[in-house]
Structure 1
Amino acid sequence: MENVTLELIHKDLEFVKRELLEIKKHMVDIDSIMTEDDYKALQEYNIEKSEGKLTSHEELKKELCL
């Protein structure tokens, strides 16, 4: 059986840290992934925008007397 020394533990810990940094570099932010529902909503938005059906924030404030 291998003797466990502080030096060995330290080397193993450094290895794990490096591996963790590599994993973090390749992780994807879940909020950056567009779901099918997101894609459909974006398509609907683009259609409504091109048809002039959207109300701007400023127009809405005027309509609501804000």
Structure 2
Amino acid sequence: MSKETGTIHHYNQLKGFGFIRRDKGKDVFFFFADFINDTSDVVIGETVEFEFRKEPKGPRAYKIKNLG
């Protein structure tokens, strides 16, 4: 796993998942539960740091941290 940064590109609040646009490479899928800091809302355009893993269905973000 490697740490990367990106911005929240899409988020579906009802389903609890979205996508992060990475600074380099493909967009990465995430679940709301993957945020490690106490956040009550995901904001489109917010910068985040995350751990990146290649999964069978595509790239996935884990241990997401809001950077502001």
- The alignment's TM-score, normalised by the length of structure 1, stands at 0.14
Higher-Rg structure is 1
- Name whichever structure is richer in strand by fraction: 2
